[in-house]
Amino acid sequence: MKIIIPVLGFGRAGGERVLSKLATELMSCGHDVSFIAPDNKNEPYYETSASIIRSEVRKSRFKLIRIISLYYNLWRKCIESKPDVAIASFHLIAYLVAMLPIKRSGKFYYIQAYEVNFSESKLGRLIAYLTYHLPLKKILNSPGLLPHKIDNSIGIVPAGLDLNVFRPKPVDCAKNSHVSIGVIGRKEKHKGTSEVVSVLCSLGNKEKIIVNIAVFLDEVDRERLISAGFKVNFVPITSDLELASFYRSNDVMIAVGLVEDGAFHYPCAESMACGCLVISNYAPLAETNSSLKLKKFEANTLYDAINHCLKFSDEEKKREIQTNISVLEKYDWKIVGETFNFLLLGINK
């Protein structure tokens, strides 16, 4: 089948990693897969086997004209590609896919987040919400992403993991005098990085804790941690190998956020795969019976979970880590790709 995935560009977010890897897996299933993207000279950050087809970007000093032109040219390029299947994975692209002149059975919406939560305006939230009523076959990243009254999805396909890269650290029998706590810092407020910093600052025994933060660390938050008495390391990340190494450098990973409790979360899954003790309100940890999973982010429950985690015996640590790793098999990219392919073909596995 000829499959197209229209996008507005390529970035470093987890959702874009998923699309790049899914496209590669669908190519492995024998499909001809292409990303349709504006010609803005922005190359995919995450490697993919799929081809990239560019649509024209018109220059204008009027923003509205630029936006209309961008979407129209993207839509026209999608039509020119003569696809059998089109997959949207962003609410504004969902409208574009819905208007393509192809069979309804070939129009899919891979929903990776409840995007209604991410708009600051009522109009923006309404625009996102209405996409769930479009005549598209919906595939969810994780359960519970849609309101119950319109949850008519055809299946669930979680994001995948490269378990060859994100693998457990070697067993270290040496006793360390410090505990390393890691956080993937993010600029977006709903990621909750500043809230996590506030909880860390309220902990005792700070002289025995090293705080490692990767990707992003606001200077105000850095100063708060240092003033509280922590040794703080900031680690920039430029590849998955570096990211996996960062996870393995920590004893404990805090992978929490302020929205979408229970949804798939890459820092949660990757740090579980790398053999860390993980505290999270997200999946895959949410699928276990771990005493470190949180129903939702609350400062007091995170504080309690950290202190509880720090008191684990060696046997409790080993059991927790082994349990975490055992639930990750279904997230292997090959399995994820095959599951997605079955849904595109209308096959119930």
State pLDDT tens for residues 166-177.
999 876 655 677
Classify residue 298 as left (phi > 0), alpha (psi -120 to 50) or beta.
beta
> Looking up tokens 């600029």, which residue turns up?
187
- Given this model, what pLDDT does residue 147 score? 84
Looking at per-residue pLDDT, the higher value among 129 and 61 belongs to 129
Calculate the alpha carbon distances from 339 to 91, 97, 106, 160 in Å: 23, 22, 17, 11
Question: Over the stretch 109-119, which tens digit does the pLDDT of each residue have?
Answer: 999 988 998 88
- Residue 40, pLDDT above cutoff 90: no
Q: How far is CA 135 from the centre of its chain?
A: 25
| Under 8 Å between Cβ of 168 and 196 | no
Mean pLDDT, rounded, for 218-232: 94
Q: Find the mean pLDDT for residues 130-134.
A: 95
Give domain 2-160+332-344's CATH architecture.
3-Layer(aba) Sandwich (3.40)
Percent of the chain with pLDDT over 70: 98
> Over the stretch 309-334, which tens digit does the pLDDT of each residue have?
999 999 999 999 999 999 998 899 99
Residue 287's Cβ-side half-sphere holds a number of Cα atoms within 13 Å equal to 19
Strands (E), 204-314: 209-214, 231-235, 252-255, 277-280
Q: What residue spans define the domains of the chain?
A: 2-160+332-344, 179-329
pLDDT band of residue 346 (cuts 50, 70, 90) is confident
The pLDDT assigned to 46 comes to 85
Asked whether this chain's domains 2-160+332-344 and 179-329 adopt the same fold, the reply is yes
Question: Is the per-residue pLDDT at 236 higher than 80?
Answer: yes
Average pLDDT over the chain, rounded to an integer: 92
Q: Whole-angstrom Cα distance, residue 225 to residue 201?
A: 6
Q: Is 241 exposed, middle or buried (0-12, 13-18, 19+ CB in 10 A)?
A: exposed
Maximum average pLDDT range among 2-16, 72-86, 160-174:
72-86
Residue 6 near residue 98, CB atoms below 8 Å: no
Band of pLDDT at residue 291, cut at 50, 70 and 90:
very high
**Of 92, 110, 91, residue with least CA distance to 4:** 110
User: According to the model, what pLDDT value does residue 144 have?
Assistant: 82
State the pLDDT at residue 123.
95
- Please state the pTM of the whole predicted model: 0.82
Give pLDDT, residue 330: 87
Report which of 270, 158, 169 is spatially closest to residue 215, judged by C-alpha positions: 270
> Given the DSSP bridges, would you call strands 155-156 and 179-184 parallel, antiparallel or unpaired?
unpaired
Q: How far is Cα 251 from Cα 322, in angstroms, rounded to an integer?
A: 14
Q: Is the pLDDT of residue 151 over 60?
A: yes
State how far the alpha carbon of 267 is from the alpha carbons of 133, 164, 166, 171, in Å: 31, 16, 11, 21
Look at residue 290 and tell me whether its pLDDT is greater than 90: yes
The 10 Å Cβ neighbour count of residue 195 is 17
Q: Specify the amino acid at residue 348.
A: N
Residue 244 confidence (pLDDT) above 90:
yes
Given pLDDT bands bounded at 50, 70 and 90, which one contains residue 284? very high
pLDDT, position 321: 95
DSSP element (H, E) containing 223: helix 219-228
Confidence (pLDDT) at 170? 78
Return the biggest CA–CA distance within the chain.
64
Q: And the tokens for 270? A: 């990757």
- Which helix (H) or strand (E) covers residue 38, if one does? strand 32-38
Q: Give the whole-angstrom CA distance, residue 103 versus residue 86.
A: 10
**pLDDT higher for 41 or 192?**
192
**CATH number listed for the domain at residues 179-329:** 3.40.50.2000
Q: Residue 54 corresponds to which amino acid? A: R
Question: Which DSSP string corresponds to 77-110?
Answer: HHHHT--SEEEE-SHHHHHHHHTSSS-GGGEEEE
Residue 44: the pLDDT is: 84
Asked whether the predicted pLDDT for residue 41 surpasses 90, the reply is no
